[in-house]
Every structure is written in C-alpha cells, then in structure tokens.
Amino acid sequence: MDETPLVMTPIEEVAPLVDGARAVFEAGRTRPLEWRLRTIERLRDLVVDHTADLVDALQADLGKCEAETMLSEIAVVVSEADHALAHLPDWVRPTRVPTPAAAQPGSSRLVHQPLGVACVIAPWNYPVNLSLGPVVGAIAAGNAVVVKPSELAPVSAAALGRLIVALDDPAITLVQGGVAETTELLAQRFDHILYTGGPQVARVVMRAAAEHLTPVTLELGGKSPAIVTGTAKIDQAARRLAWGKFVNAGQTCIAPDYVLVERGVHDALVAAMVAYVEEFYGADPEQSPDYARIVSDAHFHRLEKLLGSGTVAVGGQADPDERYIAPTVLTDVGLDEPVMDEEIFGPILPVLAIDSIEDAIAVVNGRDKPLALYVFSGEDEEVDRVVDATSSGGVTVNATLFHVANAALPFGGVGESGMGAYHGRFGFETFSHRRSVFERSTLVDLSLMYPPYTESKMKILRRALDLGDPRFALARIKQRLLRRR
C-alpha cells in the first residue's frame, strides 16, 4: 500500500493559522446567511469534483473500494450539505417564544449565534465523512473552522488538504500533522472542539479544552452490541450483520462489536453469516476487490492477537504484508476473553449464545454505554424491552449502521461513547449559541415594579398572586389534575 509521506504543518505556523481564522470571524465575514450557503455549496461541489482523487486516496490508505467510498464518504458529505442548504434559512430564523404576564408588555425570542472558531479533529477510518461532515455544521452555524485530519490516513489527509486549498476561503483552514502538531493545535483557544476518536485521546482533548473553558463534542465508540432474538428473520439478520460488520474491514465506530443471540437460533445465525461472508467476498476475501485493509501495522498486530479467542467459524487468516485480516466470525467466546475486553475496531465478530432477552440486556448494561445498539426481532414488544432497558448513543432495529444515515436524527454517544451530537440541524445547534433576547415595550412603564413598595402596591401584588386570580387558579387546577394521574 501507498506510504506517501504527509507534509506536516510547521509547528510555528499553527497558532498564526488559528489567529487568522479568528480574524476572519471577528471581521464578520462568516455571519451572513449568503456566505454560509455559498460556502457549503462550494464545499459540496468540490467534494463531487474531487471524487476521483478521494477514491484513490482511500484506496491507498485503507484499500477501500470505490463503492464503499462513494456510499460511506462522498454521498454522506453531499447529503449533509444538501440538507443544510435546504433547511438553513429556516434554522437561522429567530424563534418567538411566549412571554409571561409578569414581563408584559414585551416579547421574547431565541436567536442562534455562531460561536466563533471551531476545531474539527477527525479520525482515519472515514477521513472524508468525519472531517467534512462536521465542517458543514460549523459553517452552517456561521463559524470559521480549523480542520485536523488524521495522519494515520496520510494520502486522504493530503487529498483533503488539496480540497481545502481549492475552497480558497480564509475562514476554512487545515492543519496537518501528528501528536506534536495536534498538541500545539489544542493549546490554541477555540470556541468549540469536535473530536472523533477514542476515549484515551478524548480525555487529552477535554483537558486541553478546559484551559480555555471550551465546550467539546466527543464522538467515541465502544463495544456496540447486536441482540438477535428467536423471533428475528435469521437469514436477513445474518446478511445485515455481516455487511455492517465487515464494511471498511470492520473499522467503523458503530460497527456491531459482538452479537448476543438466543441459543435456539445461534447455529442458524452463524451458518448464515458464514455463507454471506463468502457471498460478499468470495472463497478467498483477500482477493476480493471489495474488501478493505487494516490501516496500520500497529492496528494489524493488535487485531491479530484477538483471533486467539473462541472458535473460528469463518476467517481467521492474517497477512501482515498486506495488513489483511479475513472477515472472521468467532463462536464459543467467553465474556472475559480479550476479544470481549476492548472495542475490536476490525473484522472480527464474536457471536455469543444467551438464554433470554433479559440475559442480553444484563450483558449490555454490565458494560460502558456504547455508541450504537442493534436489535433484530420480529416482535415490537421485544424491541421495546431492549430499547427501554438499555442506553446507547443510537439504535437501529433490524438493520445496522442506518441510524447515522438520517440527517434528521442526531449522531452522538453517551457516557464512555461520547458527549454531544451533530448531523443536520443538530450540527447547526452544536456549533451555535442559542441566545435569549427579551424586548420590553416602551409604550408603558408600570410603577408597580419600582420602589418604594407601598402598601397599595403590595395589595395589588398579593391580589395578583392569590388563588382568586383566574390565571393562577387555572394553573393550580391543572397541577392538581396532573398529580392525580
């Protein structure tokens, strides 16, 4: 695979880049709706125009085929941009809210203001999607943005750099580099940081952000479970699980990390998954043009060690020269084995038999809250039981991954899997300050609120607050009725 060296941003240039972005923001350039719409549209068009470059870059970094890049990278960013372009005029419109009687005469409204300069630190597994998707939200909110792609996908990072240069807007800039450059970047003052990656680095990001009281959005991961009940369509569940797990060679933060399946359908599910692995990738997936590779030697060797858990139902092969780990399904795995101890983030899927849905719920709740949870069932009651009794960033029922494909749904984690969310309006909200604005009328100015508080004023106040006032009486009646329900 291509080992093209990445041209790092000189350390001494990091602070001036951030300062330049702030100067552009403070000059008011990014605030007008026209700039936001024009910039998002320009970014969208550049992604489309640079598709061939991005496809080649992802093939070099991850061995990702063109179809996967189009579906999981290009199309996602284009869809996010189109959604923002269609709805942004409504999002930025001030929202009128009720004004209580005590504050009359007056009016109240909510106004979304840009925060300032946003920093987007992206991972290597979906470098285009997870770099530019948040950028769309930050631009929609009227911010300047500094993007930091991952150095672990160097060809993709270089391609993103060329795209940002082509955008040719001083409000949107990019920093290339590794640990040193990222450390210097985090030493700067930002108004919001969105980081996608692992919990260990997320703690570093939070500590750095705390120095400036900068709010953060953390998109992490964890061991996202799939629960398959005896009422599920087993063949269909196997097909959808195999696809969701092995796309991008399992290097997906919301990939099914392990499967909990009711014992009576365990063997049928495993047999169907074995068949679908061959249908998707052939008898030798290493020769398949549609199967990706592991991003680095370090990740390869970490995954190779996990192949020793349980019994291999399919796969298990590994080629260090190609950084190839076969799509692997493991059975007879114990909850205390290494493959169940950490997020796998690769093409290894443990399948564990459980006796009941309650047992599956207990396993899920005994671990950190995951970024995603998948339920396969033919009964709504079973689905409701799992959804109500567990916690995760998002849920997809009878499928995998699809909850992130809807811009009307927030994408984000909870607990160890992250904080905050974005996509669609939720990205706009994340990068905005929702400012409250109250405007009092100048037509009248009641003396009741001003000192001195004479006895006559107090009588009026007491009468207004007494149950005899119809408004207060009605409110009290409503409260009593609600308590009785």
Q: Which residues are catalytic?
A: 219, 253
What span, in angstroms and rounded, lies between the C-alpha atoms of 169 and 29?
Answer: 10
What span, in angstroms and rounded, lies between the C-alpha atoms of 336 and 322?
Answer: 30
Residue 180 contacts by C-beta under 8 Å, 6 or more apart in sequence?
11
Token pair 């038999």 is found at 353
Token pair 């630190």 is found at 121
Cα 310 vs. chain centroid, distance in angstroms? 32
> At 218, which helix (H) or strand (E)?
strand 216-219
- Burial string for 109-142 (b: 16+ CB within 10 Å, else e) reads eeebebbbbbbbbbbbbbbbbbbbbbbbbbbbbb
Strands (E), 320-403: 324-325, 328-331, 348-354, 372-376, 394-397
DSSP assignment, residue 6?
A: P
Residue 362 contacts by C-beta under 8 Å, 6 or more apart in sequence?
none
Token pair 């870059």 is found at 57
| CA-CA-CA-CA torsion sign (262, 264, 266, 269) | negative
What span, in angstroms and rounded, lies between the C-alpha atoms of 134 and 251?
Answer: 19
DSSP assignment, residue 73?
A: I
What span, in angstroms and rounded, lies between the C-alpha atoms of 83 and 155?
Answer: 28
> At 202, which helix (H) or strand (E)?
helix 199-210
Peptide bond into 215 cis (omega under 30): no
For 331, the 3-state DSSP assignment is strand
